[in-house]
Amino acid sequence: MLDSTLKEDFLLTKIAFLGPAGTYGEEAALTYNPHAHLVPMPSHSAVMDAVDKHMADEGIVPIENSIEGSVNDTLDLLIHESRLQIKSEIVIPINHCVLAKQGTETKDIAVIYSHPQALGQCRRFVERVFPRVQTLASLSTTAAVEDMKKSSIPAAAIASSRAAELFGVAIVAKNVQDNPNNVTRFVVLSHIDAEPSGDDKTSIAFMFSEDKPGQLYGVLGEFARRGINLAKIESRPSKEALGKYVFLIDLNGHRKDKAVAETLHIVKNKSSMFKLFGSYPRRNF
Active site residues: 184, 186
- Whether the CB-CB separation of 189 and 84 falls below 8 Å is answered with yes
Residue 101 is which amino acid?
A: K
- Whether the CB-CB separation of 108 and 154 falls below 8 Å is answered with yes
Burial code (b: 16+ CB inside 10 Å, e: under 16) for 238-247 equals beeeeeebbb
Distance (Å, rounded) from C-alpha 94 to C-alpha 107? Answer: 26
**Any residues with CB less than 8 A from the CB of 51 and at least 6 apart, and which?**
16, 57, 58, 59, 84, 189, 190, 191
- Whether the CB-CB separation of 263 and 242 falls below 8 Å is answered with no
Distance (Å, rounded) from C-alpha 162 to C-alpha 93? Answer: 14
